[in-house]
Chain A
Amino acid sequence: MKCKRVQRRLSAFLDRELKEREEKEIKTHLPGCSSCSKELKEMSSAWNLLLELKPVESPAYLIQRTIAEITTARGKVSWWQEILLRPAPVLATIALGILIGGLLGQSFYSNNNYLGEEFASSIYLDSFEEFPEGSVGEILLEEEEES
């Protein structure tokens, strides 16, 4: 195996990700090659330095906070979900609303009937007045009657 190829595979060699045959080839190459050995040593040192970074402690309250978030989200239900989840009370409320609306509407119109009659008479009154004397309407009406 040539140095260029060995050096290209040193990273995977270090991570023990090479196939057995390739790993064996590198192991055979290294003792006789100072350049590849130096490269491996430097790479390995840098790689091991990372382990100086110890795990950071995560906040203890995170689990409670997340569970609380889920519980709150569960409590928030949209109006259509409310109908799907609890149809009986929602439909009963709608029916009650229609009933009350109907009763109120009925009592309103029954108490205001005179207003309706007055209004009707006021708009039709002018329509049946006779045409004024000498008007085009009167002449046309007379002609029609004569014919």
Chain B
Amino acid sequence: MKDLGLDSDAELMDKVAMEDTAAFGEIMRRYQSPLFNFIYRTLSDYGEAEDLTQETFLRIYNSAKRYKPSAKFTTYLFKIARNLCLNKLRKSHRFNIFSLEEKDAGIQAPDGNSPEAIYEKKETAALIGRALATLPENQRMAVILQRFHNLSYKEISKVMGCSVSAVESLLFRAKQNLKTKLSASFLDNECL
């Protein structure tokens, strides 16, 4: 049996179109973590990130026959996820959110650190997470795609359905906002 791990995304999607669940499993293994993290950072809710990750994959599966590999698979994946996140945010009327219960989920304390150091790291992550979560949703998504998923401005423009210059503008304003939000806690010490 051929190792699916060697197949390209487009080859796997061809197989998914033929209802090959093993190929679909390989797609999920490759992209579960980036997709989950994108949704989690956008919604700041672990449970909702779980549900929307599954929903995104189900949509990918159901529309596999219509998939054309003209763009990178991740662009297609994030575009579906972005639309689902926007629907979720609009339905629940949440625009600037940050779940305090989930705020520490993003930090991985190295083994052997003292409880104080771990606490400090968690606090730092919480403050940064809060600054990110309180950005306007379009700025937040552009930041997540650029900073955590290394998408180019052109790729982000495809995911977000806007021009490259609009992405540049979003990221410029996002950086200005982050600078303002984080300056009180961190930047004064670092930049002086």
Q: Which residues of A contact B33 (CB under 8 A)?
A: 55, 57-58
Do the beta carbons of A45 and B153 come within 8 Å of each other?
no
A101 to B: closest C-beta gap in Å: 39
Query: Which secondary structure characterizes the binding site on chain A?
Result: helix
Cβ-defined partner of A66 (8 Å) among B54, B172, B175: B54
Contact indicator A63/B106 (Cβ below 8 Å):
no
- Of A11, A17, A55, the residue contacting B37 (CB under 8 A) is A55
Residues on A with C-beta less than 8 A from B176 are: 43
Rounded to whole angstroms, the CA-CA distance of A46 and B187 in the bound complex is 7
Q: Do B153 and A66 touch across chains, with their CB atoms under 8 A apart?
A: no
B107 near A43: Cβ-Cβ < 8 Å: no
Q: DSSP class of B's interface residues: helix, strand, loop or mixed?
A: helix
CA distance A42 to B152 in the complex (A): 22
Counting contact residues on chain B (CB < 8 A from A), the size range is: 35 or more
Minimal beta-carbon separation of B103 from chain A (angstroms)? 10
A69 within 8 A of B: yes
Which residues of A are found within 8 Å of B46, using beta-carbon distances?
56
What are 6 contact pairs spanning A and B, CB under 8 A? A14-B175, A15-B171, A17-B153, A46-B175, A55-B37, A62-B50
Listed in ascending order, the chain B residues whose CB lies under 8 Å from chain A are: 19, 21, 24-25, 28-29, 32-33, 36-37, 40-41, 46, 49-50, 53-54, 57-58, 61, 105-108, 124-125, 128-129, 132, 143, 146-148, 152-153, 168, 171-172, 175-176, 178-179, 182-183, 186-187, 190-191
